[in-house]
Structure 1
């Protein structure tokens, strides 16, 4: 049976494996997302190895974890909104949950530490699953249909496009 600490190292290995697969088999969205996810782990590990105490905690919220989650949310959110894929939306949704857990902690100071940690950690499993499935579906789609665009094109018509107004005079 895996202990809680051993589970973390297994999870880190999966992040690294997904990054390597995305780099080899994926396109820009896969590489960016896998890089962000691996980057979160690397920055977190450096932070935990380097800190001597909990000096960066504000009302029970670890400010560095909040910053990691916020910057990751911005990057993942950009990819989720612009990539020609569905799975980044799942990764982004899970990141929203992880990010909002910090504000839940701020609002309810009496929340049990374990509940806060679960709200911040469980979304990473959803992200790993979504990333793995996304890589599989991307590879299958590319094999069956060939190359396809990685990014969506803007669908909003501009006023310069010659579109007719609704009420013509």
Structure 2
């Protein structure tokens, strides 16, 4: 019989797999990369625990720190360049998880439950944000047609300003 922790784990795996498929089918670049980050978390965590054979305690684990730092770097890059708002929230929640490791390292008296909530809790919000992001992207495409997934640099300078440049 599965314990409640096992049910939660497999339900989360199912949700992430469903979101990855939905992102691949209906999403664009930002949705696919963001879904890839969630898949990375699950796959890398499985490898981390299999290779390092570390119990699932709430003691700080270097593997978890590396996994979260890689996820944060990619999430921040996507947030900065994607033409989406939810990616900013996604990256912010990832930074919360990274800072949880830092807080645990700085103050070892942090309660294990608080540490566990701080570094695993943001993933649930990230799943919800990605689901909403895919839904909003699909709705916008249906209403308005295709649009840019990534922000460009700056808009071109208007012609009236270009002829007077650099004396503007």
User: Which TM bucket (shorter chain)?
Assistant: 0.7 to 0.9
| Alignment-derived partner of residue 73 in structure 1 | 72
| Alignment-derived partner of residue 23 in structure 1 | 24
Q: Compute the displacement of 1:155 (Å).
A: 2.7
Q: For structure 1, which runs of at least 5 residues remain unmatched after alignment?
A: 55-59
Once residues 72 and 61 of structure 1 are traced to their aligned partners in structure 2, the CA distance between those partners, rounded to angstroms, is 17
Once residues 91 and 61 of structure 2 are traced to their aligned partners in structure 1, the CA distance between those partners, rounded to angstroms, is 21
CA 1:13–1:143: 2 relative to 1, 3 Å: same
CA deviations 1:117-165 (Å, max 9, x no partner) are 110011001100000000000000000000000000113899xx77546
Once residues 128 and 23 of structure 2 are traced to their aligned partners in structure 1, the CA distance between those partners, rounded to angstroms, is 14
Once residues 26 and 135 of structure 2 are traced to their aligned partners in structure 1, the CA distance between those partners, rounded to angstroms, is 9
| Alignment-derived partner of residue 146 in structure 2 | 147
Q: Secondary structure at the match of 2:109?
A: coil
* Paired residues, number: 158
CA deviations 1:20-72 (Å, max 9, x no partner) are 11011111111111011111111101221233347xxxxx4210000000000
| Alignment-derived partner of residue 126 in structure 1 | 125
Once residues 16 and 41 of structure 1 are traced to their aligned partners in structure 2, the CA distance between those partners, rounded to angstroms, is 10
State the superposition RMSD in angstroms: 2.1
Kindly report which structure 2 residues correspond to 1:75-114, keeping only aligned pairs within 5 A, or say none.
75-114=74-113
Once residues 22 and 152 of structure 1 are traced to their aligned partners in structure 2, the CA distance between those partners, rounded to angstroms, is 19
Once residues 12 and 51 of structure 1 are traced to their aligned partners in structure 2, the CA distance between those partners, rounded to angstroms, is 21
| Alignment-derived partner of residue 4 in structure 1 | 5
Runs (4+) off by over 2 Å: 49-54, 155-158, 161-166
Q: For structure 2, which runs of at least 5 residues remain unmatched after alignment?
A: none
CA 1:39–1:164: 2 relative to 1, 3 Å: same
